[in-house]
Every structure is written in C-alpha cells, then in structure tokens.
Structure 1
Amino acid sequence: MSDRHELFLTCPKGLEGLLLEEAGQLGLEEAREHTSAIRGLGSLETAYRLCLWSRLANRVLLVLARFPVRDAESLYEGVLEVDWFEHLDPAGSLAVEFSGNGSGIDNTHFGALKVKDAIVDKLRQADGTRPSVDKLNPDMRVHLRLDRGEAILSLDLSGHSLHQRGYRLQQGAAPLKENLAAAVLIRAGWPRIAAEGGALADPMCGVGTFLVEAAMIAADVAPNMTRQQWGFSQWLGHVPAIWSRLHAEAEQRAAAGMAKPPLWIRGYEADPRLIQPARNNIERAGMGDWVKVYQGEVATFEPRPDQNQKGLVICNPPYGERLGDEASLLYLYQNLGERLRQACMGWEAAVFTGAPDLGKRMGIRSHKQYAFWNGALPCKLLLIKVLPDQFVTGERRTPAQRQVERELASAQPEEVVEAPKLNKNGNPIKPAPVTSPVVELARLSEGGQMFANRLQKNLKQLGKWAKREGITCYRVYDADMPEYALAVDLYHDWVHVQEYAAPKSIDPEKAQARLFDALAALPQALGIDKSKVVIKRRERQAGTKQYQRQSTQGQFMEVSEGGVKLLVNLTDYLDTGLFLDHRAMRLRIQREAAGKRFLNLFCYTATATVHAAKGGARNTTSVDLSKTYLDWARRNLSLNGFSDKNRLEQGDVMAWLEADSGEYDLIFIDPPTFSNSKRMEGVFDVQRDHVRLLDLAMARLAPGGVLYFSNNFRKFQLEADVLQRYAVEEISAQTLDPDYARNPKIHRAWRLQAQ
C-alpha cells in the first residue's frame, strides 16, 4: 500500500471548522471541509495520531478505493476489485456500514449487503472458509459512502466512535457527547486559559463531561489513550511499531502533564443523584486529583479558587421538555446571570444552550456566539466576558463611570477601594470606601415593569376580598393587557400561569419575549419564590387532550374553599383539578344541598360534589368518563371524610342518563365544549347536543328540584326549545366572583326547573 492515504474524518455537524484546524495540527495535509466531515492526505502514522489525539472526530476512515456506480452490480464489481487479502484474514469477521443513495440503490441495508457479498466472495476459500459478520466487535469495519454516482470505500480505523472515551459509564438525562463537550471548551478558549494557569467551574456539571474533557486538555492527556480495541487492531495492514511509538509518546506527555500542579477545576450539581456518578466518571478518567464535584444550586454557586485567580465558567443548562419548564428555565438563567455578575467578576463564561432566547435573560451580553448542533437540536454557544461593560442594567453609563466600575471589579475584595463619586461631567470628585465591587442586577424591561405594576394593582384589590372571604386560590390576572395574553392564578404560595396561544399575526419571537418579560416580573410583583411558578400553554384542545396527563411529577397540593379541602395538581395536567371560575357556583350548591339528592354530571374531580356533601346532601352521584378523575374525586371526598352515600360512576354521561332510573333534587352539569373519547360513541358537541342532554337530565329531576347548567363555550346559545319547555333563568353574573369581573365571558350559567 502507498504511504500516503486519503483520510476522511467524520464529526458532529458544526464541528467541521474546528476539526479542520485540529487535524492540520496533527499532520493532515491538503484538508478540506465537507458536511459533518473533513478529508485530506496523510501517512499511516498521521492516521494513527488522529485516532489517538483527535478530541473532535467521530471516526477516522482510510480510503481504499473510489469508483463510479451505475447500479447494484457495478457496486458489487467495484468492491470486488479491491485486494481484500491485504486487509482481512478469510476466517476473520467484518461489519459494513453504508450511507448515501442513488444509482438505483435507495436502501442502505441492501447497499451494505452488496458490499458484504463482494468482500466475502473475494475471500472465500476452497474449503468453504469465509469471513463472518459481527456487527459489535468485528476484525474489520468497512464503510462505503455513495455520493452522486461515486462510491468511496474506506476502512474504519477507529472502530467504535472516538467520542466514546470509556470513562463515562454513568450518564445523566441529556448528556453532551464527549467530542461536542471538547469542541465547546475549545471554542470557549479553555486551552488558552489553561495554559495561563486559569481555573474552570461548571455550575451545572451533571455527570462531569465538561470537567473531564477540560482536565484532559489541561494535562495534555490524549483523549483516546486508554482505548484497548481499535478498528485497526486486527487489520492486516496495521503496523504495530508505529502505533507503539505514538502511544508511548502520548503516555510520556500524559505523565509530564499529570505531574504538574493540578489546575482548579470544580463542578457543582443541584441533583444529589448525579454527584456519585460524576465522581465515578472522573475517577475512571484518572482525573480525581484535578477535578472535584460538589452538590450545590446555581443560585449559591460561587467559584473562589483564590482571590486573584480568574478562569472560565462553562455550563450546559437544561433545555426544557416538560409542561411548565419555561418558568423554571427562565429563573435558572436569571440565577446564572446573577451569580456571574456577583461572584465571577473578571472571569470568562461560556453558556451552551438550546434556548438562546433564554440566554438573553441573564442580564449580561455575550460578545461572541457560535452555532452548534447537539444531535438534531440547533444550539448556540454564548461567550461572555464578565465585566460591568457587558451588564444589561437599563442604564447608560459615561466612559468615566465604566472606568470606575472596571477598577472596582478588578480590586481585591479584602482591600478598601476608593470609589469616587462623579460630578455631572462624569469626573471623580470625592472618594468613598467600599469593601467589594458594587454589582447592579438586571432590571425588568419596560414592558415587564408595566406587567408587574398591573399585577400588584390587581393583587392589592383582590387580596382584601380574598382575605375577607377566606379564599386562598384565585385569579389575579387574565389577559388584562392584550400584549401579555396570560392567565395568572394564585394557589396559596404558588403561581399557576397559562399562556394563551398568540394569534398568527403576532411575531412568535415577540410573543416569546413578552412571555419571558412576564415570567421575570411574577416573583417580584407577587412576592412568590421563583421555584413555585408553573407555566402552561393553553390552546384549543382536541377531544380529551385537555384532561390528559402531560407530565408525571405527581405533586398534589391541598387547598381550601368554603370549608372543604380539595386536591390540586399544578404540574401534570393542563388544568389543575379545580376550575376557579366555578367557585361561586360550588358555594351556591353547598348552600342549597341540605337534605337533597345531588347529581353531578361531567363531574371532573367532583369538587362540586364535595361542596354538596359539605352542605348536608342526603346522597350524591357523580358521573365522568375518566377513571383518572374519578380516582381524584374519590380522594377529594375521602380528604373531607365523605365516603358513604357518595356514588362515583364511570361512563359516557348521555348513555348513563338514558340507562339511569334515579331521581335527584339538585343536578349540576358543566360539560366540555367537545369530547371524542374512545370510550364513548360519536363526538359530544355542547352546542349541538345540549338540548338532548338537558332533556335527559330534566327527566331525572324530582318535582320542585333545580338543575344548574353551565359551560365555557364563548359562542354558546341556549336553544329556544329549552326556553319553551322549562323555567329558565340565566344566572351568569351571579356565578362570577370579583377575580373574574374582568372576564365576564369566562362561562355562562342557567337555573332550570320544570314548568
């Protein structure tokens, strides 16, 4: 074989430029970028060096042949032309990877099969000996890429992907691959900072990938030095002497690097379950003397290697996948920005994020941004210099003021620093002693402040009413300002936020920015802890999606209303289990229920039934299609000591009414607008079906009894037939408490009796 080979190095999308630079430093010549790969020329020694030292590549492919492909037969013939006896023993094993399409080959499995057949046929012996297929640990791994009618046939020298360093046997929920973590560190300038003796801290370290990769870079440890099995290990073209020499050199460099005084590299992780896995990974990488991990929240993060040292803060905040994550993520970024400004003055920071809009909420500007991909997810790396000039405070400063702040930022905390006051021209006039840099936190935006002012005004007005009535769960804001289309409900010391879907005419980025403004204002305006804000997006829901579980946190909380206790869940479902706008109706039912037989149709979590039982109902019957909500209803009744005389029925309300022969003195019906559950026949439409529903229910109403009917369909019109057959009184205004006075169309309600 020639001593100069064409080499392909594959990598994650977005790393091509970095890999090109790295590969050039490792000896690759005439290198060029391709999508998720680079190609160039190099000796076998260069190929080995790339395998050993590349922190960014996934695979190192040595090209064996290029040939045109017209069809499957020409693919077979082209592979057959290679002298496979130079590469694989006839009794060995192989695996084939095939990518690309065209030339009538549109199935990668079929393409791989044709390549395998050609190799096996070439090596087949007269006695029947032939290579076997081993997809996990083959002696030789072959890769063929079909690109615009040309086949590029290669040997995979790396074997398993080079990002699999071997130290990370325990992982968190969404870990970065090792080579992506290394790329982020390189882009963030860590090699330069490490060479200067700088420190590194990761306030959200997970299982420690950034920490280990940073330590290996600083200690000059080859990322793949401990790998035992390579793609070239059983390759017949392998030259062990070259590999042994390169590996010995890497060991010597590692020994020299590890003998140096360790840099200060620290990780902090809020989840206690990840601390030991992180420490185990660090020990497996041999970096226990360099890297330490501690449990701690971002809000208390404070890197202090010593008072003079500076360095790099790097992190990969969670991206958010569950219902309600926007609020917790916003506050996480706010806390991160606050800690950077307060505890990391003069440091550099690198935030790798899948939500760059949240990065803007840290209150500190990035001076550079780089695009990356984490798998299929587009991400950005925000590079930040933690200096007062970069802080977003809402104020403009003169150059003289900025200079004073820089001097304060660079001062020793234990020193007394003269911080001169400035005259109207920005010149210092009189010193004043301070003991630490004065850091001004980011303020609310103008829109956020307007939103906060409205919240505080509403809270002041409604708080007096709620306290007087003994109400702890109420709506404090309901899209009062069109720009902030949210509903904000208080549940004791929790805030439940529902974002109404913005019209298509609204720019999504602008809507997102307003949401973040509102979320930033909520804790401050309402005096609520940031960890107790839950947000959900409310749109028109198909079928029973509104009632389906959307998270699995299972956190129920007990609230009180009208002398009864009820369970709500703020995290797992779009609705909480308690419709606050029906509070007045529930209290009315409680007042009228004494001695009555009560029927609750579409009962949901049976909150109205609990009120009826509290009011002294003779017995109650509650009907709903959902087993989940009937179980919740059972818990609500049990919580109040009501178990006997309270029947819970699972079924389609229409069918149940047709089959029921009971008689009831008080009936409450609050149906959904639409329902199309698999457990019912057809689709329920409240506008179309309400006449039949009311007729069936009124047939079950005892003489002198009362039926209350309500719904939340804004365009609903009660049919004339109902008005003619029964004594009907609209009581919508009587069923709205002050917290819904701003939104009188939230529901409509009627009182029905027999004529």
Structure 2
Amino acid sequence: MSDRFELFLTCPKGLEGLLIEEAVGLGLEDAREHTSAVRGMATMETAYRLCLWSRLANRVLLVLKRFPMKDAENLYHGVLDIDWQDHMLSDGTLAVEFSGHGSGIDNTHFGALKVKDAIVDKLRTPQGDRPSIDKLNPDLRIHLRLDRGEAILSLDLSGHSLHQRGYRLQQGAAPLKENLAAAILIRSGWPRIAAEGGALADPMCGVGTFLVEAGMIAADMAPNLRREQWGFTAWLGHVPALWKKLHEEAVERAAAGLAKPPLWIRGYEADPRLIQPGRNNVERAGLSEWIKIYQGEVATFEPRPDQNQKGLVICNPPYGERLGDEASLLYLYQNLGERLRQACLNWEAAVFTGAPDLGKRMGIRSHKQYSFWNGALPCKLLLIKVLPDQFVTGERRTPEQRQAEREQAAYDQTPDEPQERKFNKNGNPIKPTPAPAPVIEQPRLSEGGQMFANRLQKNLKAIGKWVKREGIDCYRVYDADMPEYAMAIDLYHDWVHVQEYAAPKSIDPEKASARMFDALAAIPQALNVDKNRVVVKRRERQSGTKQYERQAAQGKFVEVNEGGVKLLVNLTDYLDTGLFLDHRPMRMRIQKEAAGKRFLNLFCYTATASVHAAKGGARSTTSVDLSKTYLDWARRNLSLNGFSDKNRLEQGDVMAWLESCRDEYDLIFIDPPTFSNSKRMEGIFDVQRDQVQLIDLAMARLAPGGVLYFSNNFRKFQLEDNLAERYAVEEISAQTIDPDFARNTKIHRAWNITAR
C-alpha cells in the first residue's frame, strides 16, 4: 500500500473552516473544503493522529478507490476489483454505508447492497466462508459516496462517530454533540483564554458538555483517548506499533496536563435532576479535579473565583418546545444579560442560540457572530465582551461602583462574627450604618416597548378605582388597543395571562416576533409583576373542542377573588383559564337574583356562575357539562367556597340531558360553545343552527315567572326571529360589559328570555 492516502474528514455543517485549520495542524496536506467535509492527503501516522486528536470531525475516511460509475453494474465491478483480502478476513464482519444518488441508483439501500455483494463475492472461499453483516460493531465499516457520476469508496477508520467520546452516557433534553460544543469553544477563544490561565463558567450547563470539552482542551487531553473500539482495529492494514506509539504520547500529554494546577471551570444548572448525571459525565472524563457542577438559577449566577479572575462565560440556553414559551425564554435571556453586566465585568461571553432575536434582548452588544447548525436548526454564536461601552440597557455603573458592590456583597455573605462595639461620647452604642439597598437593573425598553408600557399603565390607572371598588382581582388591562400589538392581557391577582392573536399572513413574521418581545419586556415593569409570573399563549381560530384541550400538564391552580367568591384558575394547561372574565357582569347579576331560587347552569364549564348563585342564596344549583375534567374543577370551586350540599353536578350532553329532565328551575343560564363535536355526544352541536331547539328545551324547564339568560361569543351569531314570537326576548348585551371590556363591546352578546 502507498505511504500516503487520500482522507475525507466529515463534520457537521458549518464546521468546515474550523476543521480544515485543525486537520492541517495535525498534519493533513493539500487540504480542501467540501460541504460538511474536508479532503486531503496524509500518512498513516497522520490518519491515526486525526482519529485520536480531532475535536471537530465526525469520521476519518481513508479512500480506497475512485472510479467512474454509470450504473449498478459499474458499481459492482468497481468494488469487486479491489483486493479485499488485503483489508479483511473472509469470515469477518462488515457494514456498508452509501450516500448520494444518480447513475441509475436512487435508493441508498440498493446501492449499499450492491457494494456488499461485491465484497462478499470477492472474499467467498471454496469452503463457503464469507463475510457477514454486523451494523453495530463490524470489523470493517465501508462507505461509498456517489458524487456526480464518480464513486468514492472509503474505509471508515473511526468506527463510531468521533463525537461519541464515551464520557456522556446521560444527557439533557436538548444536548449539543460533543464536536459541536468543541467548535463553539474554539470559536469563542477558549484555547487562548485557557492558555492565559482564565476561568470558564456555564450558567446553564445541563449535563456538562461544554465543561468537559473545555476541560479536555485546557488539560491537553486527546478527545478520543479513552475510546477502545476503532474502525481500524480489525483492519488488516492496521499498524499496531504506530498506533501504540501515538496513543502513549497522548497518554503522557494528558498526564502532564492534568498535573498542572487546575483551571477554575464551573457549571450551574437549575434542574436538580441533571446535577448528578453531569457530575457522572465529568468523572468519566477524568476531570473531577478541574470541573465542579452546582445547582443554581441563572438569576443568581455569579462566577467569582476571585476578584481579579477573568475568563469566559459560555452557554446554550434552552429552545422553546411549545407555544407560549416566548415569555419564559425572553426573561431567561434578560436574566442572563443582567447577570453578565452585574457579575462578569471584563469577562468574555459566548451565547449559542437558536433564537438570535432573543439574544438581542440581553442588553449587551455582540462584537462577533458566527453561524452554526445544531442538527437541522440554524443557530448563531454571539460573542460578547462584557464591558460598559457594550451595554445597551440598564444603568451604566463605573468599575469602581461595581467593585464596591462586590465587596459589600462578599461582606454580606460572610458568617456573623463577634464585632467590637463602638460608643459615642455619651456612652451610647453607635448603630452600624445599614448597607445600601442593592441596585436592581431594569432592562431599558425599546421605543416600541416603552410605548406599549405607557399604554398598559394608562389602562391600569383608568380602571384602578373601579377594580378596587368592585373587589375583583382578575380583569383585562389590554385588548389589542394598538393594532400592531395584537394581544389580550389579563391580570389574575399577581399573575399575567397573555393571549397573542396570530398575526395575519400579510405581516412580516420577524416584525411580529420583535413586537411580541417588546411587549413581553414591558409587561413586568408596567404592571409591576414578577416576570416569572407571565404566561403567554397564542390564540388562533379554533375548531371543535380544541380550545378546551390540554396544552400542558402543570396542574397549577391560582386562587382569585370576584364579587365575594373565590375561584380557581389554571393559567398554563389550557387555552382558556377556567374563568371567562367578560361574563363577570352576568355572574354578578345571577348572584343578585339567585336568592331562594333553583338555578340551572348549562354548558357550565367550571361552574363559576353556579358558585355566584350559591353565594347569592340560591335554594339549589344544578350544573351540566360533558367534560369530567371541568366538572371536577367545578366541584373544587364550590368546595373552596364552602358549598357542597344542594349543588348538583351532572355529566352529560346538554341537549340529551334537557330532553330527559323533568325538573323546574327559576333561573337558567346558558353560555354554549360555538361548535362542539365531542365523541361523547350524539351528532354535532352548532350554536347558530341548534339555538331554537336548545332554547325551547330549556324554556320547557323554566318555572312560571322564571328567567333564562342566554349568551355566546360567536361574532356572527344572529338570534332567530321566531323565538321573539313565542317568548319575551330582550337583548341585554350592553348591560353585561364591564369597563375592562369597554374597548371590545362585541366580546359577547346576551339576552333575557322569559315566558309570555
């Protein structure tokens, strides 16, 4: 065999430039970039060294042959022509990977089968021995790449992908591959910082991938030093003595590196379930003396090995997995920016993000940005120098002020010790001067964000006296007042519920996203709420029962007050919260009129109207709904207020229930859905089509002198004229709109219906 070989080094998309620098440094000659690969010439020693030391490559492929290929027959004979007895035993194991298409081969499985057939036929012995297939741990892994009519047949020296270092047996929800993490560290300048004795901290470390890769770089450890299985181990062209020499050199370098004083490398993770897996990964990598992982939130993160230590803060913030994550992610980035400005002055920072728009919300300019791919997701690496002239939000304090604050904080954290008491000239003890209150940096809002905050504060002031007078603590403060900020915002005690209306297709998605982030940044400041108590949902046109379907499973209920009753709302798990705020006037009307009456609540949802009726002294309440989930919720609402007796909860299809019911009621409330097609009901309910039958059935249950209140929120709803011919019908919509919905008088329509 030749002394020099052609090599292909594959890598994740976007790492080609870094990989060619690394490979040339390790001895690759005549190197050229390709998409997700680097090509060059090398000796066997360099090929081994690349396997051992490349932090960025996925695979090291040694090219066995290139040949033109017109069809499957060309492929078969081109592979057959190789002296396979020089590479593997006839009873060995084999795996074949095929990439590319053309030349009559459009199916990679078929292409791999033809390659396998040629190798097996070449090695088949007269006794019938032949190689077998082992896709997991073969003796030889062969790769054929078809590129514009040329077949490139290679031997995979690496075996399993080189990113699998062997230390990470446990991983978090959104892990980075090890070679991508190494690339990010190299782009972030970590090799330079480590050589200068700098520190590294990851405030969202997950299971510690950044930490371990950084530790191996700093300690001069070959990333694949601990790997036991290689693609060349059973290859007949393998040179064990050469490999042993290179491996021993790497072992000596790692020992020398680990013998140096450890650098300060720390990780912090909010999820307690990831702490031990992260520590296990560090231990398996042999870096327990260098790396420590602690539990901690981003908002309290403070990397301070000592006052003069400088280094790199690096992190990969979580990606939003479902609708409504915008708020938590925005505040996470804001917290990160605040901690960098407050605790990491003169450090460098690297934030790897799949949401660059959120990166802009940290309040610090990035001086460089690099594009990467995390799998199929395009990402950005934001490089930041944490210096006051790079700050774009918050108060800009001098280094002296920040140093004083650090010293005060350090003093505050020191355990109490007996202090010498001081006295004035009259002999009275002098009280110590209290420490100044900590300065809390509020993000400076953008022009749009400030405008939005002003509108919220104006709305809050306008309804403040009414809210206090009526004794309610859940109400609407904003409802698309400004068309460019299309959302509804409701306050539930000290929580904020945001419903973002889906932007029309004519609106630029980037502009809509930017406005949403402006609004989310403004809400905590304008409404004076904890930013961790802002819940965001996107409201789009719903079909069937989709608006009632579970969106999450946190099961967290918040108690709110309305007109003297307590009600439970769930802000996270469903599109709606369990309390329709716009029906508040109707519930209060029912409470005032319910004394001594038998109350029937149809399509009762969480039975909030029934709670008000019971509060008003109803003789009995009956609440009917098809959903067991909402009836359980209704039971909790009633129990919360001490109402259990004389309050029936009935599960069933309302139309069928009314047809079988023979009881009479003095006060009936119906607020039906626009449309329902539940599997537990017969047929499909359509409020426009079925209104007459529904109202007729309900009126048949109304006692003499009784009142039926009917409402719904279908914007195009029209009450059938013939109902007014048989019953006394009065529209009372205007009387059922409170000040917090004054801007949206079409939120619902309501009627008072009685017998003639």
Normalising by structure 2, report the TM-score.
0.91
Rounded Cα–Cα distance in structure 1 between residues aligned with 2:95 and 2:622: 66
Q: Does 94-103 or 537-546 show the bigger shift?
A: 94-103
Secondary structure (helix, strand or coil) at the match of 1:197 reads coil
> For residues 140 and 146 of structure 1, do their structure 2 counterparts lie closer, same or farther at Cα, with a shift above 3 Å needed?
same
Partner of 1:225: 225
2 CA distance for matches of 1:407 and 1:528?
A: 32
SS of residue in 2 equivalent to 1:542: coil
Deviation at 1:554, TM superposition (A): 1.7
Question: Per-residue CA shift, 1:614-633, capped at 9, x if unaligned?
Answer: 33444433333333323322
Q: 1:650 to 1:441 in 2, by over 3 A?
A: closer
Give identity over the alignment, percent. Answer: 84
Q: CA deviation at 1:545?
A: 1.6
Give the C-alpha shift of residue 578 in structure 1: 0.9
- Find the aligned partners of 2:407 and 2:649 in 1 and give their Cα distance: 69
- Distance in structure 2 (CA, Å) of the matches to 1:648 and 1:116: 69
**For the Cα contact (< 8 Å) 2:338–2:441, is it kept in 1?**
no
CA distance, structure 1, for counterparts of residue 109 and residue 611 of structure 2:
61
Distance 2:749 2:8 in 1: 69
Question: What's the counterpart of residue 510 of structure 2?
Answer: 509
Equivalent residue letter for 1:178: E
Mapping of residues 168-179 of structure 1, within 5 Å: 168-179=168-179
How far apart are the structure 1 equivalents of 2:442 and 2:467?
Answer: 34
Cα 1:60/1:243, change in 2 over 3 Å:
same
* Cα distance in structure 1, aligned partners of 2:645 and 2:128: 80
Aligned residue in 2 for 1:117: 117
Which residue number in structure 2 is paired with residue 740 of structure 1? 741
TM-score if structure 1 supplies the norm length? 0.92
Paired letter, 1:266: R
Deviating more after overlay: 77-86 vs 274-283: 77-86
The RMSD of aligned alpha carbons is 2.6
Q: 1:665 to 1:78 in 2, by over 3 A?
A: farther
Distance 1:684 1:146 in 2: 58
Residue in 1 that maps onto 2:433: none
SS in 1 for 2:752: strand
Identify if the C-alpha distance between structure 1 residues 94 and 445 changes in structure 2 by more than 3 Å, giving closer, same or farther.
same
Counting only pairs closer than 5 Å after superposition, residues 581-660 of structure 1 correspond to structure 2 as 581-660=582-661
- Contact 2:394 2:442 (8 Å CA) reproduced: no
Contact 2:394–2:441 at 8 Å: present in 1 too? no
Counterpart in the other structure of 1:74: 74
Counterpart amino acid of residue 734 in structure 2 = A
1:53 CA drift (Å) = 0.5
Q: 1:308 touches 1:412 (CA, 8 Å); kept in 2?
A: no
Matched residue, 1:161: 161
Provide the secondary structure at the position in 2 that maps to 1:384.
strand
Q: CA shift at 1:337, angstroms?
A: 0.9
Deviation at 1:655, TM superposition (A): 4.0
CA distance in 1 between partners of 2:41 and 2:632 (Å) = 68
- 2-side partners of 1:411 and 1:370: how far apart? 36
The answer to whether the Cα contact below 8 Å between 1:387 and 1:406 also exists between their aligned partners in 2 is no
Distance 1:169 1:691, change over 3 A: same
- Which residue does the alignment assign to 2:541? 540
Which residue number corresponds to residue 141 of structure 1? Answer: 141
1:359 aligns to what?
A: 359
Whichever residue aligns with residue 299 of structure 1, its letter is A
Question: How much does 1:330 deviate?
Answer: 0.9
Structure 1 stretch displaced more, 637-646 or 602-611:
637-646
Secondary structure, in 3 states, of the residue corresponding to 1:246? helix
Q: What is the deviation of 1:409?
A: 7.8
Please list every run of 5 or more consecutive structure 1 residues that lacks an aligned counterpart in the other structure.
396-401, 416-434
Determine if contact 1:346/1:409 at 8 Å carries over to the other structure.
no
Does the alignment pair 1:553 with 2:559?
no
**1:317 maps to which residue?**
317
CA distance in 1, matches of 2:169, 2:441: 43
Aligned partner letter, 1:201: A
Of 631-640 and 185-194, deviating more is 631-640
Is 2:92 the counterpart of 1:92? yes
Instruction: Encode CA deviations 1:448-484: one digit per residue, 9 max, x unaligned.
Output: 2222222222223323322222212111222222232
The Cα shift of 1:711 comes to 1.1
Q: Deviations over 1:550-577 (max 9, x none)?
A: 1122212222323333221111111111
Pairing 1:570–2:544 present: no
Deviation string, structure 1 residues 147-180 (Cα, Å, up to 9, x no partner): 3333222211111111111111121111111111
Distance 2:401 2:466 in 1: 49
Measured after TM superposition, the shift of residue 714 of structure 1 is 2.0
Q: Give ranges in structure 2 of 5+ residues lacking alignment.
A: 409-435
Alpha-carbon offset, residue 182 of structure 1: 0.5
After TM superposition, give the deviation of residue 78 of structure 1 in Å: 2.4
Give the conservation status (yes or no) of the 8 Å contact 1:543–1:675: yes
Shift of 1:123: 1.8
Shift of 1:440: 7.2
Following the alignment from structure 1 to structure 2, what is the Cα–Cα distance between the partners of residues 63 and 649? 74
Contact 2:220 2:254 in 1 (8 A): yes
User: Are 1:526 and 2:527 matched, yes or no?
Assistant: yes
Contact 2:707 2:752 in 1 (8 A): yes
Moved more, 364-373 or 64-73: 64-73
Paired letter, 2:630: Y
Aligned-partner residue type, residue 322 of structure 2: R
Task: Tell me how far apart the structure 2 counterparts of residues 229 and 671 of structure 1 sit (CA, whole Å).
Answer: 66
Letter paired with 2:486: A
Q: How many angstroms does 1:106 deviate by?
A: 2.5
Q: Which residue of structure 2 aligns with residue 274 of structure 1?
A: 274
Q: Does residue 668 of structure 2 align to residue 667 of structure 1? A: yes
The one-letter amino acid paired with 1:73 is E
SS in 2 for 1:586: helix
SS in 2 for 1:330: helix
- Residues 732 and 190 (structure 1), Cα distance of their counterparts in 2 relative to 1, 3 Å cut: same
Q: 1:592 to 1:280 in 2, by over 3 A?
A: same
Q: Residue 240 of structure 2 corresponds to which residue in structure 1?
A: 240
Other structure's SS at 1:693 match: helix
**Secondary structure of 1:287's partner?**
coil
Deviation at 1:742, TM superposition (A): 2.3
CA distances 1:510-547 after superposition (whole Å, capped 9, x unpaired): 22112111111111122211111111111111222211
Deviations 1:717-750 (A, max 9, x none): 2222222222111111221222212222211111
Q: Tell me, what secondary structure is at the counterpart of 2:252?
A: helix
Corresponding pairs, count = 730
Q: How does 1:189-268 map to 2 (within 5 A)?
A: 189-268=189-268
Counterpart CA distance in 1 for 2:579 and 2:168 is: 45
